[in-house]
Each structure stands twice: as C-alpha cells, then as structure tokens.
Amino acid sequence: MSVDDSSTSAGLTPAGPPCYDKHMKSTRQVILKARELGIGLPAFNIAHLPMTEPIIRAVRDQDSFALLEVSRIDWLKFGAGSPAAVMTEYKRHEDPQHVRIHLDHVPAIDEDQRTVDYLAIIAEALGLGYQSVMIDASRLSLEENIRATRAVADLAHTTGIPVEAELGAVLGHEAGPMPPYDELFSSGRGFTRPDEAARFARESGCDWLSVAIGNIHGAVGEATKNQKKLEARLALDHLSRLAEVTGLPLVLHGGSGIRQEDMLASMKRGIVKVNVGTEIRQAYELALREKGSQKAAQDAVYERTVSLIRDWFKLTGIRERILA
C-alpha cells in the first residue's frame, strides 16, 4: 500500500486495553447505555491541539458525557499533529468520568483518492491507549469494506476495544463542489442501504456503524473550510429501518448544521454518537484570526461546546445516568 502518513511506525501488535477503575464502565458499555437511554453522545473533533482542554472542561462543567476524537484529516489538514500528540494532550487533562478518547475516520481510501495504510495507523492508536477506533472503508465496494472492517475488528477486539465503521456515502470531504443538497436528499444518493447494512452488521465485526441518512461532512478544502455549513436534514424512517436490520448502535457523522429537531429525533431511533467538528473548529479559528490570541480561541471553543451540550443536545447533567 502507498502511505502518506508520518505516524505509522508502530507494528501490528497493540498494547493491552486502557486501564479503568474496576467499577468504571468501558467505552463499549457507555455506548450501549446511551442506546438504552435514547441518548446520542456528542463526539468533538480536535482539529487543533489547544481545543482539547476547553472541550473537556466544558463537558465536565455541564456534568455531561462526551467523546473527544481525532481523525486523519485533523492531523493532516489542520493542527492536531498526530494521534500521539492528541493522546499526550488528552492525558494532560483527561477526566474519564466525563470524556473518553476515540480515533475517528481512518480511511482505507482518503478524500484525495489515495490508499492509506489504515491497519498501521489503527495499531498505533491502540498502542497509545485509544479507547475506541474507526475504520472508514466506505469508498470501497461492500465486500472490500467488510474485509477491511473485519481486519480492524480482529485487531482491536484482541484488546477489548470497540470498532466503528461506515457504510454509505457521507459526502463533504471530497475535493470539488458537492451536488445541490436538496437533490442529494430527495434522491437518497449515498444513503446507507438496509440490505447492505444487514449484511455488513453480520459479517464485518464492527460494534458501531456510521450511516448516511442525509447528513454531510463539513468541507475541509482551503476554499470552503471557513464557509458556514448548510442545514442538513435526516431521513428518520430510513434510520429506523437501519437500526432494525443491523441491531447495532448507529453513529451520525457531520453533526454540525443538522436541523435540531431531526438530530434530537434521531437519538430515539438508534443514533448513539454524533460527531461535531466544523462548529467548534470554526469557533477556534475565527477567534484566533480576529483576536490573535490562543486564550481567546480556547475561550470560544469552551463557550461553543457549552452551548452545544446545554442548548443543542440538551445533555446537561447526564453523566450519572450514562455511568450508572
């Protein structure tokens, strides 16, 4: 495979699972509890390392629960550095009673159509102590996606770490203009197919599944990364069908910009994790540009994260219920 990543030095033998207090729920158990409660936990992407502390502080101050995550795009195209750099920063501020760390979007084929050595990246993350990981082989055929996901699941499950995968086309990261959103939504283009999802759930070994139901990623290209994200809506009946046929906890990528009523309704239909990147990244970058101060940028991230937890997700005070 051709590789363009600098952080793939680890071998394919991950370290043991993260150490928790014996009475503390694992991330796998937390996600299952969220599904039982009809809660979609926010997962905040670290596009720049200084965002880590204010996000953790905001979740703690709201007595909520969230995942902190980093994707390959975050360290290649923004300022996250590497999985190791994010883990080091997370460890400086970690609070496992409120926040766990997740490896987001490691693609088999990236947004620039390059092949990625995903197993090496994921093995490195497991060795670093990431508490859940994601393989995104959605740009491959169904059979190839199943094989790639199974390989990651076989690796991660040796240390008890859950695996997220993706099926369908959650658009937005690709180069060039995206087709008109209304056209995409009405046609169902890229939506996760229930028949394929049922097979994927049986054969891939994944623990959680990211689905395409009208959600889109925030743009990452230089020309579009600062633009306001358009409002997306969700095909909720389609989501219910996917939850029924897979039996898996489902994940919503591209959480920034989704209509609030749809997003909240999705939690009652199987969504247990909602990725949020664009809103908090843009808050950080705008404050840094306008005020020239990292402290001001961190304050902006804190305030936006508090607002999302309290006013958008309405998840203030859920920690005890999630960890019960």
Given a cut of 70, is residue 19 above it in pLDDT?
no
pLDDT in tens, 169-206: 876 554 556 667 767 777 777 899 999 999 999 999 99
Q: Is the Cα torsion angle 107, 111, 117, 121 positive or negative in sign?
A: negative
Q: Calculate what percentage of the chain has a pLDDT beyond 70.
A: 85
Highest mean pLDDT among 5-19, 140-154, 213-227: 140-154
pLDDT in tens, 112-129: 899 999 999 999 999 999
Residue with the bigger pLDDT between 309 and 224: it is: 309
Domain assignment of residue 5, yes or no: no
The pLDDT value given to residue 111: 85
177's CB contacts (< 8 A; 6+ apart) are none
Q: Calculate what percentage of the chain has a pLDDT beyond 90.
A: 77
Domain assignment of residue 268, yes or no: yes
Domain assignment of residue 6, yes or no: no
Confidence of residue 7 (pLDDT cuts 50, 70, 90): very low
Domain assignment of residue 163, yes or no: yes
pLDDT in tens, 81-102: 999 999 999 999 999 999 999 9
Range in 106-115, 139-148, 226-235 with the lowest mean pLDDT:
226-235
Q: Is 219 left (phi over 0), alpha (psi -120 to 50) or beta?
A: beta
Half-sphere exposure of 155 (CA within 13 A, CB side): 27
- SS in 3 state form for the chain? CCCCCCCCCCCCCCCCCCCCCCCCCCHHHHHHHHHHHCCCEEEEECCEHHHHHHHHHHHHHCCCCEEEEECHHHHHHCECCCHHHHHHHHHHHCCCCCEEEEEEEEECECCCCCECCHHHHHHHHHHHCCCCEEEECCCCCHHHHHHHHHHHHHHHHCCCCCEEEEECCCCCCCCCCCCCHHHHHHHCCCCCCHHHHHHHHHHCCCCEEEECCCCCCCCCCCCCCCCCCCCECCCHHHHHHHHHHHCCCEEECCCCCECHHHHHHHHCCCEEEEEECHHHHHHHHHHHHHHCCHHHHHHHHHHHHHHHHHHHCCCCCCHHHHHC
Domain assignment of residue 20, yes or no: no
- The distance of Cα 270 from the centroid of its chain, to the nearest Å, equals 16
Domain assignment of residue 19, yes or no: no
Arithmetic mean of pLDDT, 301-312: 97
Confidence of residue 216 (pLDDT cuts 50, 70, 90): confident
Query: Within a 10 A sphere around the Cβ of 176, how many other Cβ atoms?
Result: 6
Average pLDDT, the chain: 89
Domain containing 178 equals 27-323
In angstroms, the CA 232 to CA 229 distance is: 9
Number of domains present in the structure of the chain: 1
CATH code at position 189: 3.20.20.70
Highest mean pLDDT among 211-220, 223-232, 246-255: 246-255
Domain assignment of residue 254, yes or no: yes
The pLDDT value given to residue 10: 40
Domain assignment of residue 84, yes or no: yes
pLDDT in tens, 48-75: 999 999 999 999 999 999 999 999 999 9
